[in-house]
Amino acid sequence: MNKIPPFILLITLLTGCSFLKSSSRGYDNAINQLNAIASGNFDEAISYFDIKPIDTAQVNQLKEGLPHLQAAIIENFGPSFELSFSKSDKKFSFSTAEEESTIEPLMVKIQIKNETHFGIIEATINEQNNKIQYIELLNYKEEIPSFLLIYIAGFIAIGVASLNIIAINRIRKSSFKRKWLRIVGVLIFNVPAITITALGRFSLDISFQTLLGVGFSATGIDETLVTFAIPIGSIVTLVMVKIGEQKKITDDKLNEQAKPSANVGEEN
């Protein structure tokens, strides 16, 4: 098997660290900018944009546009709202032809909410200086859900994970051959995967759900979801263990019954 060159691993690690660092700093700048916009301090808000101060035409254009963003925020969420991190994303598209390869700007999603509703603000970040290239309040406003469905799904997911752990433990204590192969089967054969979101959306995916058959995400209301799978591997394993235990009990009983008969024969 070919090993991954160490320099590739190093580049991957450094890229991941750079992404997290840029996401954090870009998010902080976006939050400061949005607070400045909400309070009507447009000069401060403009200072967070990735523009040159001498570009008076672009500065004037922003001064005209930012009040509209302020009005949209206040109209939809009122003067009192909360801002929180939802998600950051950066898409790559590689091709053998150099001109067809693309790297999209870093995108940070920010959740804005009041007591009853929430929405999403997207900001693109220049990773060189962590300033804002573009910011937009999406045409997206949802009522904050009760999360009861998520809690129920969470308990089911905990049950699935617990069943997989029990199955792995039973395999370890069993007399099965190639125990490692059966443990891998328990970890892999979790299918189909059922996903439930905080907004009450369901999806069914005919794919294998690894990591004990469950998955979670809770970075924002629209990104909050629970995924759990049917633990087929664990169910089959526990049934086989039970059958093996019953067979052993039956064999032991038969052996116990056969011992007195053998002793009587010897005496005669």
> Which tens digits make up the pLDDT trace of 219-255?
889 989 999 999 999 999 999 988 888 888 887 788 8
Q: What is the pLDDT of residues 43-85, one digit of tens each?
A: 999 999 998 876 788 899 999 999 999 999 999 999 999 999 9
Output the pLDDT for position 94: 57
Do residue 135 and residue 17 come from a single domain?
yes
Q: Rounding to the nearest 10 degrees, give the CA dihedral for residues 249, 250, 251, 252.
A: 50
Q: What is the pLDDT of residues 16-26, one digit of tens each?
A: 567 788 889 99
Identify whether 83 is part of a domain: yes
Range of the domain at 228: 148-253
* Mean pLDDT value across residues 155-182: 92
106 compared with 12, residue with greater pLDDT: 106
Q: Are strands 193-197 and 225-229 parallel, antiparallel or unpaired?
A: antiparallel
Do residue 73 and residue 90 come from a single domain?
yes
Do residue 199 and residue 81 come from a single domain?
no
Question: pTM (2 decimals)?
Answer: 0.75
Do residue 166 and residue 105 come from a single domain?
no
Which of 104, 125, 143 corresponds to the end of one domain? 143
Do residue 100 and residue 218 come from a single domain?
no
Output the pLDDT for position 120: 96
Do residue 135 and residue 188 come from a single domain?
no
Do residue 128 and residue 57 come from a single domain?
yes
Sequence-distant (≥ 6) Cβ neighbours of residue 149 within 8 angstroms: 196, 198, 200
Do residue 126 and residue 179 come from a single domain?
no
In the block, which residue shows the tokens 């999406």?
138
Q: Rounding to the nearest 10 degrees, give the CA dihedral for residues 37, 43, 46, 48.
A: -90
Do residue 48 and residue 152 come from a single domain?
no
Cα three-residue angle 28-131-101, rounded to 5 degrees: 115
Diameter of the chain measured on Cα atoms: 117
Do residue 79 and residue 138 come from a single domain?
yes
pLDDT tier for residue 131 given thresholds of 50, 70 and 90? very high
Residue (of 216, 211, 213, 212) closest to 196 by Cα position: 216
Q: Rounding to the nearest 10 degrees, give the CA dihedral for residues 247, 251, 252, 255.
A: 180
186 compared with 53, residue with greater pLDDT: 186
pLDDT for 177 beyond 80: yes
Identify whether 63 is part of a domain: yes
State what percent of residues in the chain have pLDDT above 70.
Answer: 85
Do residue 104 and residue 29 come from a single domain?
yes
The total domain count for the chain is 2
Output the pLDDT for position 154: 94
CB atoms within 10 A of CB 245: 13
Residue 179, token pair as written in the block:
């125990």
* Mean pLDDT value across residues 27-48: 95
Identify whether 21 is part of a domain: yes
* Mean pLDDT value across residues 163-189: 91
93 compared with 166, residue with greater pLDDT: 166
Identify whether 49 is part of a domain: yes
Output the pLDDT for position 53: 72
Do residue 152 and residue 34 come from a single domain?
no
Per the CB < 8 A criterion, the answer to whether 141 and 222 are in contact is no
Residue 24, token pair as written in the block:
């954090």
Identify whether 263 is part of a domain: no
Which of 102, 122, 143 corresponds to the end of one domain? 143
Q: Write down the mean pLDDT value for the chain.
A: 85
Kindly give the residue spans of alpha helices, DSSP state H, lying in the chain: 6-38, 42-47, 56-77, 148-173, 179-188, 232-267
Output the pLDDT for position 7: 38
Which of 89, 115, 143 corresponds to the end of one domain? 143
Identify whether 261 is part of a domain: no
Identify whether 265 is part of a domain: no
Lowest mean pLDDT among 97-106, 157-166, 167-176: 97-106
Backbone angles phi, psi at 19, to 5 degrees: -65, -45
pLDDT for 6 beyond 50: no
Output the pLDDT for position 13: 42
Write the secondary structure of 34-103 as one string of H (helix), E (strand) and C (coil): HHHHHCCCHHHHHHCECCCCCCHHHHHHHHHHHHHHHHHHHHHHCCCCEEEEEEEECCEECCCCHHHCEE
Amino acid residing at 257: Q
Identify whether 209 is part of a domain: yes
